[in-house]
Each structure stands twice: as structure tokens, then as C-alpha cells.
Chain A
Amino acid sequence: MIPSDHFTRFYNEVFKFLESQGEEQLQAYFLAISKNQEKHILELIQTKGLEGMEEYWTHIKIEENCDMDIDRNEDRLELRMNVCPSLSKVMDNDAEPMGRYCDHCAGWIGPIFDKTGYHLVYDVIDRKKPQCVMRVFKDAAKAKEAERDVKLLMGWPGHKIG
């Protein structure tokens, strides 16, 4: 058994292998993981919207030992990851971190927001620092406006940046 605690380091090895096979392979994997994650979050978003997202990430914050602030208002949900346990473990690793490790996060959640009609603005800030800000908007124009303040904007399958 690879302990659940060490899934992220296994994930990192999978990313390195897929990156060597080509960008489209990595994108296909993000979509497979996204499909897997639907069983945990899709219904919550479809039935409770932003409140359902808050419920999901409150659970994740506890189970994944995240140092994260969650803020929700009528228009949007904001997750401010102060110390990301996932990238932290990948950096504190005896194997080499994959340079674009952070890309997986928008890679799996972006397609789910696309399916549910929400608009994601994912600021990774710096791929070498375990912190990021994710904002999810009901309104597309507000999401577009929020993109102006972003340091490193992430895309996802079906939503290429630049």
C-alpha cells in the first residue's frame, strides 16, 4: 500500500511520466482524475452551489491538513491556501518534483466548474511556493475582472490560457 499520506509523491511520479509522453497525455489524465472526483463534489455543486463547494473544501481542509482560509459571499467562493500540504510534500521529497506539479489542481476542478456553469480563476502565484488563491464566481464578467489581479493564472483542459 502506498499510504494515502504519500499519494501526492506518487502523483508527482505519474506527472513526470506523462509529461514525457506529451502534453495531451497529461491533459487526458487531468480529465480522468476530474471524472473520478465528480463522485465527491459534483452533486454538492449541482444541488447547493457555492455552499456545496464550501462544504466540500471544509472537509478537505480537515482531512488533508491544509492551512487554508475559506471565504464565501453571495457572488463567489475564495480559497486562500496559505500552506498547501500537497506541494509541500512534493517539495520535501527524495525524488525530483515535477516543475508543473501545481497545474493538476485547476486541471481536475476546472472541468467540473465548466460542467456546472461556474467560472474559475485559479492563481497559483508561484509554482515553487505552496500557496495559491482559487476563486469561483457565479458571474462570468466578475471572473474576468478578477483575472486582472492574478500573478500566475492557470488553465485546464478545454480552457487554455494565453
Chain B
Amino acid sequence: MSEHLRYAEGGEVHLDFHGATNTTIDFIISRYGVEAMDAIFKKVGKDVYRSIHDDLVAGDTGQLVRHWRHFFSRENCDYDIAVGDDEIVLTVRHCTAWHHVAKLVGTPSAHFCDQTSRTNEGMAEGSPFAIDTEITGPGSCRQVIRRRA
């Protein structure tokens, strides 16, 4: 398993970008439909996160787990990751992004969490793994990496 972390960041975080993401989701969906937004998120998963995508295709989940730890910690989320023999489970109890947007606009887009579900699908496309995202409540979710049957 590699120790690589291609997309690490340092310094401050600018949470207001999540508000711009929310605006973008509403803009794209209102003009082009959910399919267009989904396609953009899948491209983010596959092209922007190409290094993670390539690792998953090669059967290596290590970088994705490190990526989750790095960014969910940077954004001060309440989360944990359980690495088991058959599955890896990321449980997010308090998503900083969702709650920050709720503070800015009241109610985040109904499709706000699609950025997670579809980007995960894009990263896993063509790999031996599936990443399923279950929204468990407002600003909480469960993301599970499993080998495809």
C-alpha cells in the first residue's frame, strides 16, 4: 500500500467556499438538470482526483483513506474511519461543510451531498471497489468502500 497523499494542503481553510459550492449546485441543476451536475462531480472524482482514482483502479484504498483523514481533520469534522477486512467505513457525525452552508443560507441545496456521493462514484469508476454514500441525517453520512461483488 502506498503512503502517497497527492492532494494534501496546509495553512488556513476558507469555509465560505462551501457556500459557493451550494450556489453552483443550484445554478447548474436549475439550468441543466441533475444529470449535468452529476457528470461534473464524476469528472472531479475521476480527473481532479486522478491519483486516488488510479490507486483504486490498481486495488489500493490507502490514499483515499489518508485523504479522508487529512481533509475531515482540516475542516474539523466529527468523524471516524473503521478499516475492516471486508469494508472501510467513514462515519461523519458532523459535516462542517453542510453546517457552514446551513449557517450561511438556512437550508443547503437538497443536492448538496451529491458532491460526496457522485465524486466518490467517479473516484471508484473502473476500479475493483464501490463507494456507497448513505446520508444519515442533516450534515451526517456514512461512506463505505467495499470490493465489488
A contact residues vs B (CB 8 Å cutoff): 1-11, 13-14, 17, 21, 25, 28-29, 32-33, 35-37, 39-40, 60, 62-65, 93-96
Contact = CB atoms under 8 A, between A and B. Distances in A.
B14 A33 contact: no
Contact of B12 (A9, A14, A33, A65): A65
Nearest to B52: A94
A13 B50 contact: no
Contacts of B44: 2, 9-10, 13, 95
Interface of B: 6-7, 9-21, 23-24, 27-28, 31-32, 36, 39-40, 43-44, 47-51, 71-72, 74-75, 77, 92, 95, 97, 104, 115-116, 119
Contacts, number: 106
* A contact face: mostly helix, strand, loop, or mixed: helix
B21 A2 contact: yes
A64 B15 CA distance: 10
B74 A3 contact: yes
B95 A1 contact: yes
B14 A93 contact: no
Given A7-B20, A7-B21, A36-B20, A95 B48 contact: yes
Contacts of B10: 65
Given A64-B12, A94-B47, A94-B49, A4 B116 contact: no
13 contacts: A1-B97, A1-B116, A5-B13, A5-B71, A7-B17, A9-B48, A10-B44, A36-B23, A40-B16, A60-B14, A64-B12, A94-B48, A95-B48
